[in-house]
A and B are shown apart, each in its own frame.
Chain A
Amino acid sequence: MSDPAPQEVPKSPEPSAFHQPSERPEDRSEAAPLRRLPAISLLFLIFGAVRSLAAVLVFVFISRGFDPFMTFAIGLLLIPSVIGAVARYLAFSYRLEDEELVIRDGILTRKVRSVPYARIQNVDLVQNLFHRLLKVAVVRLETASGGKPEAVIHVLTLPAVDELRTHILRGKPGSRSPTVSDPMGSAHDLAPSFDTRDPEGGEQLLSIPVGRLALLGLLSNRGMLVIAAVAGLAQQAGFFDDPTRYLPDSAQLPKLESTFQTLKHVTWNPLWIVAALVTLAATLLLFTRLLSALWVTVTLYGFKLQQDGNDLRTEYGLLTKVTATVPRKRIQLLSIKESFLQRRWGLASVQIETAGGGAEENGQGPGAARLWLAPIMDRPALVPLIRRTMPQIHLRADDLPELDWQPLAPRARLRLMRRGFALVLVLAIISVLTLGVWGLLSALLIPLVAWHAQRYIQQTAWAVTDHAVLFRSGAWGLRTSMVPFAKIQGLRIVQSPFDRRNRMASVRVDTAGANPSGHRIDVPYLETRTAHRLVERLEDEAAELHFSW
């Protein structure tokens, strides 16, 4: 701060109608006014505190029935947590300085955090149903430090979010976009559209109709996730604690026994059993796929990808609405997935990784290391989308297969098959020992193994263009990842004893904000010479380009 003249107190061009600058005496010297959370925020803080206790209450209620004493005790516990919530609300304040956001926080240990706008990677908003009814949002600010978001603000009104965003965008050199310097005319009329900044400001790159989302759900296997989640909830609620209560009690046993007796006399046609099993499997599959379609449609409802100057913005969600803003330059890796079924329909999905990625508590929403660029899209539109979102790659080919893909080592296929056959052999020995002659059926796996190896080797390849390194792999489906040279953080040649015997090695490319479980540049089964050449080439390219977040 060079000259904090007291007359210049309202630094922001748009006077906020929602946040009266409440200045304390000790803050008078500062240029920017102190801002507090809106009063609604208190509601959410208290709700959050109560919710954790409500889970305990429900658990007690289910396991012990209604117990007035326990209810009262838990009610007593509620008081300190509500007081804590209020104290946290009162302790939290922030200030929008010229170049940084200053957040004051903490009840016993006062914390003052300053986050320079230039270092903020992503600004993500999350709105669940209640947030949307009350027109507020949870704001997460991510910097490159990885792990948890740098700052999470529970909750801000939408105009306050706009104000924050405006400051962040203005504070970032080079990302000044016309929509931002424009004083928000339409922003304060509480439009039904969530994007209060300027609905027409960005150019829409992609929007996915509901039918497409349902198709995506049918083609992917997210139904099991839902079932697992429900089972987890049921277990927490104690439904599995006493399995015996689901068994018939002794009064019903004779009846059951007679049923068994009649069943015994039925001659079991093996065909019937097979038919019954197939029907069961088909029903289960259909059910999980329908669940999956429902799940995907609800979580990704209204998916939109917009480009606003150098920023990409995605928003989606029916119940919990998520908005994520990612500067184009900060994309570290782009990954395309075409599953076996998606390929039959000519579809693909695209995810990106940013440096601000980190662990996410519940697996959805922004902050996850991987963000959707397009959960589902037509394959032909892939290259145009990559050109728009990652111009630094300078993708020249009109389609990805036209790139100069380099195959793996010639002996890789043999190695893969040998490994597969060894596995089949072990399986065969075990099944013959346990099932007898029928175990020999496992030999049927041999052609499958051979096909898999053949297919994997056919598809898996790497490519180096003038600006990026690409790797694609897969047997049934296909995954393709690309990293611009400027985002390469480290390189590694890895050689297992088996690799060494075959004079092979694998090459791994490290980037910032990488999701360990996702597909990345990790090229196996290369000739040792090729691996060294590839790494030297990439090292040269990376050393020349300075890394900028």
Chain B
Amino acid sequence: MSTDSFPAPPGGSLADDIDRSLDPRWLPLARIGSFISAGILTLITATVVTAIVFSKPEIWPVVLGAWAFLVLLLWARAWFWPALAYRHTSYRLSARGLVIRRGVLWRSIAHVPRSRVQHTDVSQGPLERYFELGTLTVHTAGTQFASVSLDGLAHVTAEQIRDILIEAGEGDGV
């Protein structure tokens, strides 16, 4: 899989059938997200562990040891997983449509033919705004994959892709 993190050449179109990886700024953003969820999980398990230790003080070394091990795993995952996910996520835009590849263990490649794009959203949360990133959501009339979303694009790129998809979808009334 040849991924190419470079933006489109000046003057050229993004729709050149080349695999592109996400914007590198996605990595810190994703780590912030996974750290927050790891922190919440740590707090929740900490209360449970405290309760257990207080009710059965005789087994505290086992409980604390197991907990420390799990928490270590949790934070290691929070650090390394986004990097893995980054490596396994890419998108490709061509005259035929948009292809999104993602998933570390369970992998999927979603193909959205251009002529089936109903509408496209570009959204930006507060953190995404800080990193100048955006999320592209492509809606089709389908059912199982009625909307395909791709986060971790530079906001500008997301808007470019949206414009390209809208251009192609013109005149495709319901």
Contact of A547 among B97, B109, B116 (CB under 8 A): B116
Q: Which of B61-111 contact A (CB under 8 A)?
A: 95-97, 103, 105-111
Which of B8-16, B44-52, B143-151, B156-164 faces chain A? Answer: B143-151
State how many angstroms separate the Cβ of A469 from the closest Cβ of chain B. 13
Most buried by A among B96, B141, B144: B141
Q: Which of A46-89 contact B (CB under 8 A)?
A: none
Contact of A511 among B95, B113, B142 (CB under 8 A): B142
Contact with B along A145-156 (1 / 0, CB 8 A): 010000000000
**Inter-chain contacts of A508 with B (CB < 8 A):** 144
> Does B123 make an interface contact (CB < 8 A)?
no
Cα A494 to Cα B101 in complex, Å, equals 10
State how many angstroms separate the Cβ of A226 from the closest Cβ of chain B. 30
Q: Is the CB of A542 within 8 A of B113?
A: yes
> Does B155 make an interface contact (CB < 8 A)?
no
> Does A457 make an interface contact (CB < 8 A)?
no
**Residue of chain A at shortest CB distance from B100:** A492
Q: A489-B143, A516-B144, A539-B111 given. 6 additional CB < 8 A pairs?
A: A490-B145, A493-B108, A497-B105, A510-B146, A511-B142, A540-B96
> Does A144 make an interface contact (CB < 8 A)?
yes
> Does B124 make an interface contact (CB < 8 A)?
no
Q: Is the CB of A491 within 8 A of B111?
A: yes
**Residue of chain A at shortest CB distance from B142:** A489
Q: Is the CB of A545 within 8 A of B115?
A: yes
Q: Which of A468-522 contact B (CB under 8 A)?
A: 488-497, 500, 508, 510-514, 516
**Inter-chain contacts of B114 with A (CB < 8 A):** 543
Q: Is the CB of B108 within 8 A of A494?
A: yes
**Residue of chain A at shortest CB distance from B144:** A510
Most buried by B among A500, A508, A510, A513: A510
> Does A294 make an interface contact (CB < 8 A)?
no
**Inter-chain contacts of B97 with A (CB < 8 A):** 539, 543
> Does B140 make an interface contact (CB < 8 A)?
yes
A489-B111 CB under 8 A given contacts A494-B106, A497-B105, A549-B174? no
Q: Is the CB of B106 within 8 A of A497?
A: yes
Q: Is the CB of A490 within 8 A of B106?
A: no
Q: Is the CB of A489 within 8 A of B141?
A: yes
> Does B58 make an interface contact (CB < 8 A)?
no
Cα A488 to Cα B148 in complex, Å, equals 15
**Inter-chain contacts of B96 with A (CB < 8 A):** 539-540, 543
State how many angstroms separate the Cβ of A41 from the closest Cβ of chain B. 31
> Does A119 make an interface contact (CB < 8 A)?
yes
Q: Is the CB of A510 within 8 A of B143?
A: yes
> Does A34 make an interface contact (CB < 8 A)?
no
> Does B172 make an interface contact (CB < 8 A)?
yes
Q: Is the CB of A516 within 8 A of B143?
A: yes
Closest 8 CB pairs of A and B: A489-B142, A514-B143, A510-B142, A491-B111, A493-B109, A542-B113, A512-B141, A543-B113
> Does B154 make an interface contact (CB < 8 A)?
no
Q: Is the CB of B145 within 8 A of A119?
A: no
A512-B109 CB under 8 A given contacts A539-B96, A546-B172, A547-B172? no
**Inter-chain contacts of A544 with B (CB < 8 A):** 115
> Does B112 make an interface contact (CB < 8 A)?
yes
18 contacts between A and B (CB under 8 A): A119-B174, A489-B142, A490-B110, A492-B111, A492-B145, A493-B109, A494-B107, A500-B107, A510-B143, A511-B143, A512-B143, A514-B142, A516-B143, A539-B111, A539-B113, A547-B116, A547-B141, A549-B174
Q: Is the CB of B142 within 8 A of A547?
A: no
**Inter-chain contacts of B116 with A (CB < 8 A):** 488-490, 542, 547
Residues of chain A touching chain B, judged by Cβ–Cβ distance below 8 Å, are: 119, 144, 146, 355, 488-497, 500, 508, 510-514, 516, 535, 539-540, 542-547, 549
Cα A542 to Cα B113 in complex, Å, equals 7
Cα A514 to Cα B103 in complex, Å, equals 24
Q: Is the CB of A542 within 8 A of B142?
A: no
Cα A544 to Cα B112 in complex, Å, equals 13
Cα A494 to Cα B106 in complex, Å, equals 7
Q: Is the CB of A144 within 8 A of B109?
A: no
Q: Which of B119-142 contact A (CB under 8 A)?
A: 140-142
Contact of B109 among A119, A535, A543 (CB under 8 A): A535
**Inter-chain contacts of A549 with B (CB < 8 A):** 141, 174
Q: Is the CB of A490 within 8 A of B148?
A: yes
A491-B110 CB under 8 A given contacts A119-B174, A144-B174, A508-B144? yes
State how many angstroms separate the Cβ of A116 from the closest Cβ of chain B. 9
State how many angstroms separate the Cβ of B26 from the closest Cβ of chain A. 22
Q: Is the CB of A490 within 8 A of B140?
A: yes
**Inter-chain contacts of A493 with B (CB < 8 A):** 108-109, 111
Cα A500 to Cα B97 in complex, Å, equals 26
Q: Is the CB of B141 within 8 A of A492?
A: no
**Residue of chain A at shortest CB distance from B143:** A514
**Inter-chain contacts of B109 with A (CB < 8 A):** 492-493, 535
Most buried by A among B113, B146, B174: B113
Cα A291 to Cα B146 in complex, Å, equals 39
Q: Is the CB of B111 within 8 A of A490?
A: yes
**Inter-chain contacts of B107 with A (CB < 8 A):** 494-495, 500
Cα A492 to Cα B144 in complex, Å, equals 10
Cα A490 to Cα B118 in complex, Å, equals 12
**Inter-chain contacts of B111 with A (CB < 8 A):** 490-493, 535, 539
Most buried by B among A491, A500, A511, A546: A491
Q: Is the CB of B142 within 8 A of A512?
A: yes
Cα A491 to Cα B108 in complex, Å, equals 10
**Inter-chain contacts of A543 with B (CB < 8 A):** 95-97, 113-115
**Residue of chain B at shortest CB distance from A539:** B111
**Inter-chain contacts of B115 with A (CB < 8 A):** 542-547
